[in-house]
């Protein structure tokens, strides 16, 4: 990969089936913690790639940030819902902490 462009293709996967595109609400505390850690690592990778861009373009700068923002919002909304609806206090607490991390 050149430093003049971040590959937006790396952030775009093949279209998902209906089953694959459904949100998953079945998380354990460990799953929540791993999801947050994974997101932070992915976001930092994108931020570092964008920081190395020599010729800023929509595809090289804005698009990767938009994709990370969309991923963050989706996970944050799932965790927000679980914070307020889970019958398991440990899940509610883990989701609340995850929400603070995403903020």
- Residue 20 counted as domain residue: no
Could you tell me the CATH number of the domain that includes residue 67? 1.20.1050.40
* The pair of three-digit structure tokens given for residue 3, joined into one six-digit string: 């430093």
Q: How many domains does the chain have?
A: 1
- Residue 29, domain extent: 25-102
Quick: pLDDT tens for 23-56: 677 889 999 999 999 999 999 999 999 999 989 9
The pTM assigned to this predicted structure is 0.70
Neighbours of 15 (CB within 10 A): 7
Half-sphere exposure of 98 (CA within 13 A, CB side): 31
Quick: pLDDT tens for 48-87: 999 999 899 999 999 999 999 988 888 889 999 999 999 9
Specify whether the CB–CB gap between 40 and 101 falls below 8 A: yes
* The pair of three-digit structure tokens given for residue 88, joined into one six-digit string: 């398991």
- Residue 6 counted as domain residue: no
């Amino acid at each position: 990969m050149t430093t003049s462009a971040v590959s937006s293709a790396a952030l775009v996967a093949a279209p998902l089936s209906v089953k694959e595109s459904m949100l998953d609400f079945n998380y354990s505390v460990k799953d929540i913690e791993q999801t947050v850690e994974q997101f932070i690592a992915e976001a930092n990778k994108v931020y570092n790639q964008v920081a190395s861009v020599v010729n800023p373009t929509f595809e090289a700068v804005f698009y990767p940030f938009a994709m990370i923002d969309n991923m963050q919002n989706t996970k944050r909304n799932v965790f927000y819902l679980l914070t307020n609806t889970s019958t398991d206090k440990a899940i509610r607490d883990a989701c609340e902490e995850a929400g603070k991390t995403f903020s």
